[in-house]
C-alpha cells in the first residue's frame, strides 16, 4: 500500500511541470560541484554549488540527473554523468582505479554513438585518465570530502546532462539495458514487467549512510525466499521502484512535508492537489505553518478552536481529501517503517479534535505533542525522549488509538524524581498528559465514568477517587505552608509528594499535623485565607471513601489522578476569585479566633 500510494503521488507530480520531480530514468540529487571541461577533456575549474542564503544556505544544489538506481555490494555500479570523485578522479587508495575504470566503461558505452561536443568532452576526459594531480589542492580536498559532482562544458557552464543528444543517448541505453532484466509480476501493479534489483536510495537523512538508505532492502539469506536475491524478493517493477523512490525523496527534501520526531521522519501527502487542505493537515500533524497568508492562518485558527470544542469543520475545507502519513526511521543503509496511516482529512480532524480535548487542562497553554512529550525526558531534553514513546504517542494522535502505558509510567517517574519543579509549566503539562492517557483509556474501553469518577478540564468537586482527593489535599497543604512560612529551602512538595502519591498512609498524619500548624500561623497573619483553606480541606476529607481511611498504596492509575487533582486544586486555589479575595478578608464573621 505504501509503495502504491507513493507511486500514485509520483504520477501526479510528474504531470505538474512546476513540481521539479524528474521523469522516469532520471533522479533528483544533491550535487555539490560542477566539473568544467574543455573540449579536449581537460578540467578547467571546479565550481562549488551553493544554494540559499544566510541560515538557509546549503553547499549543494538539487538537480535532475540520470537515474541513480541505488548501489551496494563489493562492486557498486557507477552513475552516469553525476557521481563522486572516487569514480571520476579515482580518489580512493583502495578502489579508486577500479571505480574509475567502471565509470569510464559506462560512459563510453552510453556515449559511443552520440555526436555532440558535450559527449566528446566527457569521452576525452575518460580517455586521458583521472589525473587528480591536475586539480588544485583546495579542489582535491573539497572533492575528497564526498558529495556528487557533475560534468559541465566550460563554455556554457551547463551540465552535460542538459544536452538533448546526450539525453537521447541515455534513454536509448536505458531501454536497451532493460532487455536483459529479470521479468516477473509486479506486486504493486500486477503487471508482468522488468523487476527492480535495488530500490532507489534517499539521501540527506540523519542516521542514514551518506550514500543513502532504501525503503525496500534485503541483505540476509534468512530474509530471502524462493531463491530470490535482494529486492527481487519484493517483486517490484523498475518503474514503480523509481516512482516510489523519487516521490519519497521529494517528500523528505521539503520542510513543509516532513517533521523530525526523535529518530523518525514523518512525511504526509494528499491524493490530489489541495493547497488549503495541505495547510490544515500540516497544522494538525506538524504545528502551525509558517509563511501562510493571514486569511489562511485565520481559517486554521478558527478550525482549531472548533476542534477544541468538538465541532465539525465542514465547509471551511474539503474534508474528503485523503491523506497518507508515513513514519520512517533511517538506520544506516535502510529505512524502517514506524507507522503508516491513510485517512480522509475529516477523519484526521476528528482524531485531532479528540486529542485536543483529551490534553486540554486548566492553566496549561496549548503545546505541540513533542513539547508535551519532553516531560518524559530528564531535564525536559527533547533529544532524550524515548523513541518508542514518540512513535506510539504520535500514532495515537493520528489514529485516535490509546496512548501507551509507558507514557503514564514515565510521567509518574519524572514527578517522583523532580516534583515538576524545574519549570513553572512542568506540572500542568504532565497533568495534561496523564489526563489524556486516562480519559482515552476509558473511552476506548467503552467505559463511561460517573460524575464521581469523571476527570474534567478543571477541578471536579464531585470526583471521589482516593488519588484525586489526596492530590487535592496535598495542594491545600502546600498552599498553607507557602502562605504561612513563605519561601523555604525544603517544602513539603519536595519532601513528601513521592511518598503521598504512592504510599500515602505512611506520611498522611505527619502532613496533617503540619497543615494544622500552618493554619494556626495563618489565623494571625491572614485569617480569611485560613478559613478558606480549612473549609476546603474539610470538604475534601468529607468525600474520602471508607470512613476517611487513607489507603496504604495507590495504583498507577490512582497516582495519575493524584497529580491531576493536585494540579487542578492548585489552579483553583491560586485563581484570583478564590485566593486574592480570601486574603483580603480580615476580622469578618467567618474568621475563627
DSSP 385-430: S-HHHHHHHHHHHHH--PPPHHHHHHHHHHHHHHTT-SSTTHHHHH
Provide the pairing of β-strand 264-270 with 82-83. Answer: unpaired
pLDDT for 560 equals 97
Span 30-48, average pLDDT: 93
Query: Can you tell me which residue has the cell 478564590?
Result: 578
Taking alpha carbons only, the member of 256, 266, 255 closest to residue 369 is: 266
Residue 591 has pLDDT above 50, yes or no: no
Q: Measured at the alpha carbon of residue 341, what is the angle toward residues 339 and 344, in degrees to the nearest 5?
A: 165
Residue 287 has pLDDT above 80, yes or no: no
- Report which listed range, 97-111, 345-359, 360-374, 382-396, is most confident: 97-111
Burial class (CB in 10 A: 0-12, 13-18, 19+), 445: exposed
pLDDT for 146 equals 84
Taking alpha carbons only, the member of 518, 537, 516, 527 closest to residue 583 is: 527
pLDDT for 55 equals 67
Higher pLDDT, 589 or 267: 267
Higher pLDDT, 275 or 121: 121
Taking alpha carbons only, the member of 45, 49, 44 closest to residue 33 is: 49
pLDDT for 83 equals 95
Q: Which residues contact 527 (CB under 8 A, 6 or more apart)?
A: 585, 586, 587, 588, 591, 592
Residue 177 has pLDDT above 80, yes or no: no
Query: What does the domain layout of the chain look like in residue ranges?
Result: 2-241, 254-355, 459-593
The rounded radius of gyration (Å) of the Cα atoms in the chain is 32
Largest CA distance in the chain: 108
Q: How many CA atoms lie within 13 A of 339 on its CB side?
A: 20
pLDDT for 369 equals 86
Taking alpha carbons only, the member of 522, 545, 361, 538 closest to residue 467 is: 545
Span 572-586, average pLDDT: 57
- Whole-angstrom distance, CA of residue 49 vs CA of residue 33: 5
Grid cell for residue 538: 474539610
Span 143-147, average pLDDT: 87
Asked if residues 241 and 199 have their Cβ atoms less than 8 Å apart, the reply is: yes
Residues of the chain with pLDDT > 90: what percent? 50
How much is the mean pLDDT over the chain?
A: 87
Taking alpha carbons only, the member of 162, 136, 163, 145 closest to residue 210 is: 145
Residue 582 has pLDDT above 50, yes or no: no
Which stretch of 136-145, 416-425, 492-501 has the lowest confidence by average pLDDT?
Answer: 416-425
pLDDT digits (tens, 9 = 90+) for 402-415: 999 999 999 999 99
Residues of the chain with pLDDT > 70: what percent? 93
Asked if residues 268 and 257 have their Cβ atoms less than 8 Å apart, the reply is: yes
Q: What is the pTM of this model?
A: 0.78
pLDDT for 589 equals 37
pLDDT digits (tens, 9 = 90+) for 298-313: 777 777 777 777 777 7
- Whole-angstrom distance, CA of residue 143 vs CA of residue 122: 18
Higher pLDDT, 314 or 135: 135
How far, in Å, are 113, 501, 532, 583 from residue 478 at the CA level?
87, 14, 14, 16
Q: Which residues contact 127 (CB under 8 A, 6 or more apart)?
A: 41
- Report which listed range, 59-73, 172-186, 202-216, 438-452, is most confident: 438-452
Work out the pLDDT band at 288, boundaries 50, 70, 90: low
pLDDT for 551 equals 92
Query: Can you tell me which residue has the cell 518524559?
Result: 376
- Whole-angstrom distance, CA of residue 146 vs CA of residue 163: 26
Residue 199 has pLDDT above 80, yes or no: yes
Work out the pLDDT band at 133, boundaries 50, 70, 90: confident
Work out the pLDDT band at 592, boundaries 50, 70, 90: very low
pLDDT for 378 equals 87
Taking alpha carbons only, the member of 562, 402, 394, 593 closest to residue 472 is: 562
Span 428-437, average pLDDT: 96
Which stretch of 41-50, 305-314, 556-565 has the lowest confidence by average pLDDT?
Answer: 305-314
Asked if residues 344 and 319 have their Cβ atoms less than 8 Å apart, the reply is: yes
Which stretch of 187-196, 476-485, 530-539 has the lowest confidence by average pLDDT?
Answer: 187-196
Q: How many CA atoms lie within 13 A of 264 on its CB side?
A: 24
Query: Can you tell me which residue has the cell 497568508?
Result: 293
Grid cell for residue 126: 575518460
Higher pLDDT, 374 or 282: 374
Which stretch of 254-263, 335-344, 487-496, 579-588 has the lowest confidence by average pLDDT?
Answer: 579-588
pLDDT for 410 equals 95
3-state secondary structure string across 469-489: HHHHHHHHHHHHHHHHHCCCC
- Whole-angstrom distance, CA of residue 25 vs CA of residue 242: 8
Amino acid at each position: 500500500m505504501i509503495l502504491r500510494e507513493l507511486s500514485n503521488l509520483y504520477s501526479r507530480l510528474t504531470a505538474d511541470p512546476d513540481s521539479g520531480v524528474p521523469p522516469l530514468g532520471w533522479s533528483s540529487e544533491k550535487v555539490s560541484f560542477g566539473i568544467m571541461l574543455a573540449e579536449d577533456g581537460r578540467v578547467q575549474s571546479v565550481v562549488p554549488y551553493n544554494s540559499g542564503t544566510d541560515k538557509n544556505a546549503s553547499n549543494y544544489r538539487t538537480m535532475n540527473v540520470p537515474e541513480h538506481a541505488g548501489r551496494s555490494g563489493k562492486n557498486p555500479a557507477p552513475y552516469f554523468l553525476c557521481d563522486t570523485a572516487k569514480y571520476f578522479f579515482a580518489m580512493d587508495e583502495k578502489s579508486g582505479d577500479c571505480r574509475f575504470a567502471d565509470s569510464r566503461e559506462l560512459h563510453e558505452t552510453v556515449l559511443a554513438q552520440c555526436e555532440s561536443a558535450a559527449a566528446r568532452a566527457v569521452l576525452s576526459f575518460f580517455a586521458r585518465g583521472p589525473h587528480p594531480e591536475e586539480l588544485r589542492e583546495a579542489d582535491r580536498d573539497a572533492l575528497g570530502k564526498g558529495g556528487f559532482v557533475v560534468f559541465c562544458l566550460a563554455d556554457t557552464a551547463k551540465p552535460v546532462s542538459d544536452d538533448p543528444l546526450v539525453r537521447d543517448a541515455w534513454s536509448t541505453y536505458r531501454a536497451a539495458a532493460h532487455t536483459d532484466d529479470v521479468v516477473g509480476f509486479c506486486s504493486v501493479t500486477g503487471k508482468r514487467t522488468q523487476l527492480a534489483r535495488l530500490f532507489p536510495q534517499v539521501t540527506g537523512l540523519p542516521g542514514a549512510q551518506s550514500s543513502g538508505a532504501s525503503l525496500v532492502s534485503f541483505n540476509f539469506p534468512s530474509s530471502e525466499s524462493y531463491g530470490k536475491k535482494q529486492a527481487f524478493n519484493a517483486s517490484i517493477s523498475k518503474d514503480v521502484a523509481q516512482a516510489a523512490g523519487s516521490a519519497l525523496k521529494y517528500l523528505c527534501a521539503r520542510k513543509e512535508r516532513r517533521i523530525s520526531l526523535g529518530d523518525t521522519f514523518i512525511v504526509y501527502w494528499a491524493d490530489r492537489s489541495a493547497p488549503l487542505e495541505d495547510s490544515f493537515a500540516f497544522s494538525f500533524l506538524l504545528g502551525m505553518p509558517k509563511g501562510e497568508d493571514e486569511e489562511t492562518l485565520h481559517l486554521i485558527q478558527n478550525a482549531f478552536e472548533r476542534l477544541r470544542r468538538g465541532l465539525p469543520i465542514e465547509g471551511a475545507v474539503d474534508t474528503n481529501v485523503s491523506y497518507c502519513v508515513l513514519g520512517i526511521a533511517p538506520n544506516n543503509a535502510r529505512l524502517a517503517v514506524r507507522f503508516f496511516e491513510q485517512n480522509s482529512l475529516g477523519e484526521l480532524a476528528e482524531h485531532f479534535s479528540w486529542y485536543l480535548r483529551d490534553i486540554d487542562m486548566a492553566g496549561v497553554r496549548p503545546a505541540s505533542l513533542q513539547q508535551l512529550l519532553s516531560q518524559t525526558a530528564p531535564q525536559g531534553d527533547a533529544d532524550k525522549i524515548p523513541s518508542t514513546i514518540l512513535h506510539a504517542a504520535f500514532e495515537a494522535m493520528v489514529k485516535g488509538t490509546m496512548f501507551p502505558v509507558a507514557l503514564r509510567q514515565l510521567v509518574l517517574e519524572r514527578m517522583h524524581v523532580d516534583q515538576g519543579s524545574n519549570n513553572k509549566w512542568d506540572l500542568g503539562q504532565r497533568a495534561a498528559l496523564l489526563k489524556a492517557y486516562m480519559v482515552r483509556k476509558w473511552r476506548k474501553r467503552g467505559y463511561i465514568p460517573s460524575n464521581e469518577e469523571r476527570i474534567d478540564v478543571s477541578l471536579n468537586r464531585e470526583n471521589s477517587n482516593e488519588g484525586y482527593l489526596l492530590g487535592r489535599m496535598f495542594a491545600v497543604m502546600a498552599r498553607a505552608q507557602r502562605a504561612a512560612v513563605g519561601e523555604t529551602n525544603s517544602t513539603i512538595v519536595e519532601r513528601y509528594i513521592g511518598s503521598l502519591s504512592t504510599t500515602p498512609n505512611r506520611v498522611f498524619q505527619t502532613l496533617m499535623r503540619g497543615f494544622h500548624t500552618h493554619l494556626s500561623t495563618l489565623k494571625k497573619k491572614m485569617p480569611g485565607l485560613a478559613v478558606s483553606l480549612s473549609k476546603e480541606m474539610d470538604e475534601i476529607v468529607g468525600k474520602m471513601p471508607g470512613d476517611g481511611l487513607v489507603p496504604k498504596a495507590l495504583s498507577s492509575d490512582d497516582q495519575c489522578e493524584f497529580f491531576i487533582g493536585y494540579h487542578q486544586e492548585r489552579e483553583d486555589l491560586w485563581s484570583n476569585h478564590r485566593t486574592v479575595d480570601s486574603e483580603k478578608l480580615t476580622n469578618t464573621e467567618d474568621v475563627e479566633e
